[in-house]
Chain A
Amino acid sequence: MLAVAQLTCQRGARTLFSGLSFTLPERQWIQIQGANGAGKTTLLRVLAGLVQPQEGTLTWQGQAVQECRAEWQRALLYLGHHAALKEELTPLENLRFSLGLEAMPADETVLMKALDRFGLQEREHLPVRYLSAGQRRRVLLARLLIRPAQVWILDEPYTALDAHATQFLSAVIEDHLEQGGSAILTSHQTLGLRSGMSIAL
């Protein structure tokens, strides 16, 4: 369970949010809503540990995140709105290296299967440079299927996806929740997910 208490974050002179508290139990998801520039991405980056908040505490399984950083980073999968893909590499290589950088074993057949499920058959060996925005997004999202994590932090995961892929992503998230995981995401679209909590910034 992730618990957030009295979180305050300032960027320059502007206070993006202050006194923000919530808990995210297992099998639950939170949608973060807000206008452009309201600080949704910053909140996600604070939760992931990329940005230090001015005030407030983050607790993971009852322990302050600062004290169990390694466990938190293993439990967490953060997908930002950058594709985090190398244009020169193929989708398969990208996935393999992204797992390797986290010192996780990469099984070729598992990676191929994840790419297939996201509709990237026969694109596995094509450099990412030749893929469309939506296809790049799918390569990134394929990490959801291969990298075990309890908490998913997804920044605008539905961007650039077509109707079919949107549906599939919702199913993947549902599956993850069923299996005891939890998720935090920002999105402007209606999601087709079972109802979850919502935080407005």
Chain B
Amino acid sequence: MMMGFWTSMRRDLVLATRHKSEWLTALFFFVMVTNLLPLGVGPEVSLLRKIAPGVLWIGALLSTLLGLQRLFSSDHGDGTLEQMALSPVPLAWLVAGKMVTHWLVCGLPVVLMAPLLGIQFDLPTRSLGILVLSLLLGTPILSAVGALGAALTLGLRGGGALLSLLILPLYIPALIFGAGAVEADLAGISPQGHLSLLGALLVLSVFFSPWVTSLALRIALE
């Protein structure tokens, strides 16, 4: 079981290193969106500080969406997904391996880049720490929930647009509590409540998503 999980993870990591443009596009998108906004609204420090949590979180959210469309579609197209469904290893474990890789490739770079981008919004050091922490808890939720959306829209024409419609509403709780944690810290309130809720969402989504996603994939394969 664990061997299947590791292989599934390693395989996608190797593919990601040979296909650098894919995740670099997502990261570049994140950097550009968060860079263009301050240019658009002007250099007023208090305003920038106020919108920073929301902007950074929305940027993270949209950039993880970019990698999701291909999460299962290439495996579906070349028949690998069939082989995965036929493996004696439960499909949920193989799916979990793919989710972890999606996070490592699309989520983790965003988490690491966020404090740098936060500086240009004049976020204080403490809030930068909270921002990183909230993204660290939040981006795996985006990968887990997003994988479910990718599985449900697999094989549909115009699946990309449908994927966004399906997934973005489900991202709202993570967005509210993630950005909320940073805002609370900026306002001088303890962000602990927000972070705890984010943690609860993380446990819930990481626990259930591989299983539900594997069911959706089996339906898509029929």
A151 to chain B, nearest CB (A): 12
Q: Determine whether the beta carbon of A74 is less than 8 Å from that of B86.
A: no
Interface positions of A from 25 to 72, Cβ below 8 Å from B: 48-52, 70
Residue of A nearest to B8 (CB): A101
- How many A-B pairs have beta carbons closer than 8 Å: the answer is 79
Q: Determine whether the beta carbon of A85 is less than 8 Å from that of B3.
A: no
Interface residue tally on B, bucketed by range = 20 to 34
Known: A80-B79, A83-B78. A100 touches B11 (CB 8 A): yes
Residue of B nearest to A87 (CB): B78
The answer to the question of B51 belonging to the interface, with a C-beta cut-off of 8 Å to chain A, is no
Q: Chain B residues with Cβ under 8 A from A48's Cβ?
A: 86
A18 to chain B, nearest CB (A): 18
The answer to the question of A93 belonging to the interface, with a C-beta cut-off of 8 Å to chain B, is yes
Q: Determine whether the beta carbon of A78 is less than 8 Å from that of B80.
A: no
How far is it, in angstroms, between the C-alpha of A98 and the C-alpha of B11 when the chains are bound? 9
The answer to the question of B122 belonging to the interface, with a C-beta cut-off of 8 Å to chain A, is no
Which of B14, B79, B87 is within 8 Å of A101, CB to CB?
A: B87
Query: By the criterion of a CB under 8 Å from any partner CB, how many residues of chain A are at the interface?
Result: 27
How far is it, in angstroms, between the C-alpha of A84 and the C-alpha of B86 when the chains are bound? 13
Q: Determine whether the beta carbon of B79 is less than 8 Å from that of A88.
A: no
Q: Determine whether the beta carbon of B15 is less than 8 Å from that of A73.
A: no
Q: Chain A residues with Cβ under 8 A from B85's Cβ?
A: 50
A77 to chain B, nearest CB (A): 9
A2 to chain B, nearest CB (A): 15
Known: A88-B15, A88-B19, A89-B14. A100 touches B82 (CB 8 A): no
A96 to chain B, nearest CB (A): 8
Q: Determine whether the beta carbon of A89 is less than 8 Å from that of B15.
A: yes
B78 to chain A, nearest CB (A): 6
Q: Chain A residues with Cβ under 8 A from B10's Cβ?
A: 97, 100
The answer to the question of B88 belonging to the interface, with a C-beta cut-off of 8 Å to chain A, is yes
Q: Determine whether the beta carbon of A84 is less than 8 Å from that of B222.
A: no
How far is it, in angstroms, between the C-alpha of A83 and the C-alpha of B11 when the chains are bound? 17
B145 to chain A, nearest CB (A): 24
The answer to the question of A76 belonging to the interface, with a C-beta cut-off of 8 Å to chain B, is yes
Q: Chain B residues with Cβ under 8 A from A70's Cβ?
A: 88
The answer to the question of A13 belonging to the interface, with a C-beta cut-off of 8 Å to chain B, is no
The answer to the question of B204 belonging to the interface, with a C-beta cut-off of 8 Å to chain A, is no
A residues near B (Cβ < 8 Å) are 48-52, 70, 73-74, 76, 78, 80-89, 93, 97-98, 100-103
**Sample of 17 further A-B pairs with CB below 8 A, known A88-B19, A103-B3:** A73-B87, A74-B88, A82-B77, A82-B78, A82-B82, A84-B79, A87-B78, A89-B15, A89-B18, A97-B11, A98-B83, A100-B4, A100-B11, A101-B7, A101-B87, A101-B89, A103-B89
The 23 listed contacts between A and B (C-beta, < 8 Å) are A49-B86, A50-B82, A51-B222, A73-B86, A78-B82, A82-B77, A82-B79, A84-B78, A84-B79, A86-B15, A87-B78, A88-B18, A89-B11, A97-B7, A97-B11, A98-B83, A100-B7, A100-B11, A101-B84, A101-B94, A102-B88, A103-B3, A103-B88
